[in-house]
Structure 1
Amino acid sequence: MGVFERYLSVWVAAAIAIGVALGVMFPPLFELIAKAEVAHVNIVVALFIWVMIYPMMVQVDFSTIKEVGKNPKGLMLTLIINWLIKPFSMAALGWLFFEGLFADFVSPETAQEYIAGMILLGVAPCTAMVFVWSQLTKGDANYTLVQVSVNDIIMIFAFAPIAGLLLGVSDIHVPWLTLMISVVLYVLLPLIAGVLTRKALNNSAQNEAAVQSFLEKVKPYSVIGLLATVVLLFGFQANTILAQPLNIVLIAIPLVLQTYGIFVITYFIALKLRLKHNIAGPACLIGTSNFFELAVAVAISLFGLHSGAALATVVGVLVEVPVMLSLVAIVNKTTHWFKE
């Protein structure tokens, strides 16, 4: 785990502070950037997010899918959690907190946007950081790759319908065309680019070594893209954040509860299924963490740069890494629970 990934929460916190400061000092600059839109997609933010997502997609190897039959239980666990439980539990927590417990602290309109951001996080299963979590828990790297590859295929077809359903249930207007454009722009096209890049690299003399060498070179740019996006988002929302700093905490509370809750459910099922530890650990962590880069991009496209939905997805970035590292520690300390 590189220095960027290990201290990602620190970098994100610094990017938040820088973004807020720049937003207060140079509001005309952020207003100019905000106007650079085509079909509700901000060009500058889209560029940074592509820089984020592309290296992750290069890691996906669809040739590993043929290995699914060797241990289907772990894959089925991940798929059930990611697509049948997690999106709906995230939406339920959003409604519980922002339409119930926190209703006195935020306006109804803001509450709806926060719920929307949470829903987008819940419908986006982790694609990149799960490789880090798998490595830290001594997981089966090849099996983790299978899980990510299958999830990415499903995400192409399931993300928009599930997100649209839950947003509609929340009485939030769903701009379907924008949602579909977002899926194509931030999932399908980067995935195709990653597959083509991997194919080109695998055709070289070094094969997999060439892929790993390429990833080592481009991964730092992925983190830079993430931090630049965070700076922009918090720059756009600087005045709102300074006026209502409590809202960051309010968003973080249900996100943290969701993460720990999904982990407990998944880990319990993994124990009952008697999965091997090197499969159970990554299976639980991929079901727990989020593809926050996609959630951020779609929130911006659907609701705008200044929206509460965009803010909620970025808070997801802030809380995910420290919470996931605590779960990694739990997985490593409970190896003896699983019989190899």
Structure 2
Amino acid sequence: MTTTERATRDDAALVAKLSTLDRFLPVWILAAMAVGLGLGRQIPGLNDVLSRVEVGGVSLPIGLGLLVMMYPVLAKVRYDRLHTVTGDKKLLVSSLILNWIVGPALMFTLAWIFLPDLPAFRTGLIIVGLARCIAMVIIWNDLACGDREAAAVLVALNSIFQVVAFGLLGWFYLKVLPGWLGLATDDLHFSVLQIVVNVAVFLGIPLLAGFLTRRGGERAKGRDWYEGRFLPRIGPAALYGLLFTIVILFALQGRTITSQPGDVARIALPLLAYFALMWGGSFALGRAIGMPYDRTATLAFTAAGNNFELAIAVAIGTFGVTSGQALSGVVGPLIEVPVLVGLVYVSLALRRRFAGSSELARSRR
């Protein structure tokens, strides 16, 4: 069996491992949106009901849904394996530059190009660009035969870095940079401190809980039990939390969505451009600096994906559940999931091509 044939067989096996929940994630998201729109029509006073139980300006049911989204993902991270990536300077430096310089700058640029007249949606997209991927990237990376250990470590680094950097970057991209460029900022009325607090709550709490859960679980039962039995049990909770939040958001945003479908389409366009440019550019960079396929794929997917759970949480906590910023966050997973699923197949095709190139090079020696 040739290297290319083995790669094709392994690709099919990996895709088959994807659970029913994950395989049909776009379907579940569309269904949640439809249910939310239906509820919005049946319960017009839903916003008043949710606002009666608020903590820090965020409805308690929505806040719990957001925390449930984040915790299982962060409980999967192997926090004791940071050194496996920090020793690979090419991967570490490339990932940090792509995630924390290129990604936010690209989304800022695309948001202003595509949405110059829609400040709320534009701000929501910029927040999405600041929320670096720590969630679904593990699934996309596994399916694309990327380096699982490297992906987990990059997720851990992004999680820690986000707690520290998100508020500062939000201040820079939403307040400072537009002023330097002569762009309008008078449409933005929010506190940067509020963004910092929301990040600390919706990322800091589940990050700490995930770290303590892994540490305690492995000490008590061992890593095999923790990863083989405990994680599969709590894993689906992240999707349930996401779907619950989408149902509520679309119930509250129903009138805006149905009355302004063109605006929703305009939110989708810069997101499509962003994912294509970030993934393609990152993959090309990995190959250019000589990284093997598995780490090149990991670099591409960790750079292209975004933490839409955190973006939704920050948008809701800062601007309100019915805001245009929150709607931009909700549109994020609707676009990201099918696009990155498609890019998994593109990545696998490139893997077979590189495997074939390696075979040809060996045959010429």
Both proteins in one fold, TM over 0.5: yes
2:27 corresponds to 1:10: yes
2:316 corresponds to 1:300: yes
Q: Quote the Cα distance in structure 2 between the aligned partners of 1:184 and 1:28.
A: 31
Q: How does 1:50-129 map to 2 (within 5 A)?
A: 50-99=67-116, 103=117, 111-129=118-136
Which amino acid is the alignment partner of residue 123 of structure 1?
A: L
1:69 CA drift (Å)? 4.2
1:68 CA drift (Å)? 2.5
- Greater mean alpha carbon deviation, residues 62-71 or residues 254-263: 62-71
Which amino acid is the alignment partner of residue 239 of structure 1?
A: R
2:184 corresponds to 1:177: no
1:57 CA drift (Å)? 0.8
Q: Quote the Cα distance in structure 2 between the aligned partners of 1:223 and 1:203.
A: 27
1:268 CA drift (Å)? 1.4
Kept after mapping to 2: 8 A contact 1:125/1:291: yes
Q: Quote the Cα distance in structure 2 between the aligned partners of 1:306 and 1:69.
A: 41
Q: Quote the Cα distance in structure 2 between the aligned partners of 1:288 and 1:189.
A: 25
1:197 CA drift (Å)? 0.5
Kept after mapping to 2: 8 A contact 1:270/1:280: yes
- Greater mean alpha carbon deviation, residues 178-187 or residues 200-209: 200-209
Kept after mapping to 1: 8 A contact 2:268/2:335: yes
2:295 corresponds to 1:279: yes
The answer for the alignment partner of 2:284 in structure 1 is 268
2:29 corresponds to 1:22: no
Q: Quote the Cα distance in structure 1 between the aligned partners of 2:271 and 2:201.
A: 26
Kept after mapping to 2: 8 A contact 1:118/1:312: yes
CA 1:240–1:35: 2 relative to 1, 3 Å? farther
Q: List, as ranges, runs of 4+ consecutive aligned residues in structure 1 with deviation greater than 3 Å.
A: 336-340
Which amino acid is the alignment partner of residue 25 of structure 2?
A: L
Kept after mapping to 1: 8 A contact 2:249/2:322: yes
**Alignment counterpart, residue 145 of structure 2, candidates 129, 138, 143:** 138
Deviations 1:285-329 (A, max 9, x none): 010011100000000011101111000011001011110011111
Q: Quote the Cα distance in structure 2 between the aligned partners of 1:114 and 1:35.
A: 26
Which amino acid is the alignment partner of residue 181 of structure 1?
A: V
Q: Secondary structure at the match of 2:82?
A: helix
Q: Secondary structure at the match of 2:131?
A: coil
Q: Secondary structure at the match of 1:138?
A: coil
Which amino acid is the alignment partner of residue 96 of structure 1?
A: I
Q: Secondary structure at the match of 1:139?
A: coil
Q: Secondary structure at the match of 1:293?
A: helix
CA 1:205–1:305: 2 relative to 1, 3 Å? closer
Q: Quote the Cα distance in structure 1 between the aligned partners of 2:45 and 2:272.
A: 35
Q: Quote the Cα distance in structure 1 between the aligned partners of 2:155 and 2:63.
A: 23
1:173 CA drift (Å)? 3.0
Which amino acid is the alignment partner of residue 70 of structure 2?
A: I
Kept after mapping to 1: 8 A contact 2:121/2:325: yes
Which amino acid is the alignment partner of residue 203 of structure 2?
A: V
Kept after mapping to 2: 8 A contact 1:65/1:146: yes
**Alignment counterpart, residue 161 of structure 2, candidates 126, 150, 154:** 154
2:316 corresponds to 1:309: no
Q: Quote the Cα distance in structure 2 between the aligned partners of 1:166 and 1:35.
A: 33
Q: Secondary structure at the match of 1:204?
A: helix
Kept after mapping to 1: 8 A contact 2:68/2:241: yes
Unaligned runs of 5+ in 1: 104-110
Q: Quote the Cα distance in structure 2 between the aligned partners of 1:11 and 1:289.
A: 19
Q: Quote the Cα distance in structure 2 between the aligned partners of 1:69 and 1:226.
A: 31
Deviations 1:70-93 (A, max 9, x none): 422112211111101111110111
1:55 CA drift (Å)? 0.3
Kept after mapping to 1: 8 A contact 2:124/2:327: yes
**TM-score, structure 1 as length reference:** 0.93
Q: Quote the Cα distance in structure 2 between the aligned partners of 1:93 and 1:18.
A: 31
Q: CA RMSD in A?
A: 1.5
Q: Quote the Cα distance in structure 2 between the aligned partners of 1:159 and 1:253.
A: 24
* Percentage of pairs with the same residue: 32
Q: Quote the Cα distance in structure 2 between the aligned partners of 1:185 and 1:325.
A: 30
Q: Quote the Cα distance in structure 2 between the aligned partners of 1:45 and 1:220.
A: 18
- Greater mean alpha carbon deviation, residues 164-173 or residues 268-277: 164-173
2:256 corresponds to 1:249: no
The answer for the alignment partner of 2:11 in structure 1 is none
Kept after mapping to 1: 8 A contact 2:217/2:226: yes
How many aligned residue pairs are there? 330
Kept after mapping to 2: 8 A contact 1:48/1:226: yes
CA 1:156–1:116: 2 relative to 1, 3 Å? same
Kept after mapping to 1: 8 A contact 2:166/2:196: no
Which amino acid is the alignment partner of residue 189 of structure 1?
A: I
